[in-house]
Amino acid sequence: MAAFPGTRPLTGDAVQITTEAASVTITGRITSQGVLRDGRGLVELTLPDADPQQRRDLEWSKRYQYNLYLGGALLYSSPELEVRETRRAGDEALIISGSP
């Protein structure tokens, strides 16, 4: 698995996210994509609208690591990332941007 997912989106159906305080699994349409912003490479993880407590836990986290799956097969395993930004998409999806 590459340390940076590249600019082409990877779409999975489950993600396991580990933070300082918790480990959660979220299912649904999940996208991971590398982006370049202000000269810095970031990984954006887009999660479907999920349990409000899970969202708060992720928004308040400082660091996270995730494994993206499709049909039970591992698509991408991220390195430990520092949260750089969290924001909401128009459909209430949570977007977490992080960098190594």
- Residue pLDDT tens, the chain, 100 long: 455 667 789 999 999 999 988 888 999 999 999 998 888 889 999 998 766 777 777 778 899 999 999 999 999 999 999 999 888 877 778 888 999 8
Indicate the pTM of the whole model: 0.85
Identify the bridge partners of residue 20 per DSSP, sorted by sequence position: none
HSE toward the beta carbon, residue 8, CA cutoff 13 A: 3
